[in-house]
Amino acid sequence: MAITIGPGWSIGGGWSITDAPAPPAALSYKAIFGYGSAANGSPYSMTNLVSNTGVVATDTTGVGTIRSSLAAAGYGGDKAIFGYGFNYTLSSTRYSTTNKVSNTGVVATDTTGVGTTRFDLAAAGYGTDKAIFGYGSNSGSTQTAITNLVSNTGTVATDTAGVGTARRLLAAAGYGSDKAIFGYGATSGGSVSMTNLVSNTGVVSTDVTGVASARTALAASSYGSSGQAIFGYGGGGTNLVSNTGVVASETARVGTSRSDLAAASYGTDKAIFGYGFASGVTAITNLVSNTGVVATDTTGVGTARLGPAAASYGGA
């Protein structure tokens, strides 16, 4: 007779505890910050890799079109993708260009863009191995709510009609292991705090009334072992998101107040906020524990800049 020793595990038929195969180890992701611009708007394409213990590496020479105000997300289980963006120095050019990141952190050359060119958008993973880009501004102060889904091989789909309030300068993160959430941002009428949940098939829901401070130019990331998320900075503190997509009230900000920064998860269950603008461009980072506690500033590494994007990658 078999003896159950855990969900899906038992001893029987000649097996002993020492014979039983070990459960799979949790994946230990790394992160990558990329692109961005100087305070005067001059864009970059360099990247900074983050180890699975949260250590930021020095600059890696940039690949592809230089730009800022873009977005990034993980896809395919162990890769990442940067997409869209803005180049102030080229007559305020907007892009739909993407750059894939391998599972070793190598950034590929440009892939021809799909869908509406825009900037100040957000991106997140969903469905365990896919991603979604959404919202942003495509010309002047014209905001959009359109989204573009990304397959588990990194193929970007054409525009999906927007759902909810069109806006820019928002943030997005995965939650609950296979869903995503867009939150906060700016409309032509000012800052907002609404959110839009994304199902595990990439369907965006209508607006959910916001919690706490309306704000823009913030960042967000997943964290924790059970699929939580965190929105932070951009003129406010932080807001934790449960693994069912419920946004908590605001937690007091820790470290330097700044905007136009980026965030990503790393390790098995932690996150990192980095870069941004605070009376000048910065390279400082703030680590986030697996319980959502934000640490004080870590001295910045690499080129200080605003408007970068960040995503997790790897997993080995």
Please name each of the domains of the chain with its CATH number. 29-315 (2.120.10.80)
Checking if the pLDDT of 40 tops 50, the result is: yes
pLDDT of 12:
44
Nearest to 261 by CA among 223, 235, 288: 235
The Cα-based distances of 241 to 15, 40, 68 in angstroms read 42, 34, 27
Cα separation of 90 and 185, whole Å?
Answer: 25
Cα separation of 10 and 221, whole Å?
Answer: 37
Checking if the pLDDT of 20 tops 50, the result is: no
The average pLDDT across 273-289 equals 98
pLDDT of 7:
39
- What's the distance, CA 43 to chain centroid? 20
Cα separation of 17 and 314, whole Å?
Answer: 31
Cα separation of 231 and 310, whole Å?
Answer: 14
Predicted confidence band of residue 27 (pLDDT cuts 50, 70, 90): confident
Checking if the pLDDT of 204 tops 80, the result is: yes
Predicted confidence band of residue 316 (pLDDT cuts 50, 70, 90): low
pLDDT of 91:
84
221: its two tokens: 């990331």
Predicted confidence band of residue 9 (pLDDT cuts 50, 70, 90): very low
* Strand pairing category for 28-34 and 219-223: unpaired
139, β-bridge pairs: 142
Checking if the pLDDT of 14 tops 50, the result is: no
Checking if the pLDDT of 33 tops 90, the result is: yes
Please give the radius of gyration of the chain, using alpha carbons only, rounded to the nearest integer.
19
**Mean pLDDT taken over the chain:** 92
63, β-bridge pairs: none
Predicted confidence band of residue 19 (pLDDT cuts 50, 70, 90): very low
Cα separation of 176 and 58, whole Å?
Answer: 32
Cα separation of 248 and 197, whole Å?
Answer: 15
pLDDT of 26:
60
pLDDT in tens, 222-275: 999 999 999 999 988 999 999 999 999 999 999 999 999 999 999 999 999 999
The average pLDDT across 192-208 equals 98
Amino acid of residue 185: G
Predicted confidence band of residue 74 (pLDDT cuts 50, 70, 90): very high
Checking if the pLDDT of 39 tops 70, the result is: yes
The average pLDDT across 9-18 equals 40
The average pLDDT across 185-203 equals 96
More confident residue, 142 or 121: 121
The average pLDDT across 45-66 equals 97
* Weakest mean pLDDT among 4-13, 99-108, 145-154, 275-284: 4-13
Predicted confidence band of residue 315 (pLDDT cuts 50, 70, 90): confident
Predicted confidence band of residue 136 (pLDDT cuts 50, 70, 90): very high
Predicted confidence band of residue 1 (pLDDT cuts 50, 70, 90): very low
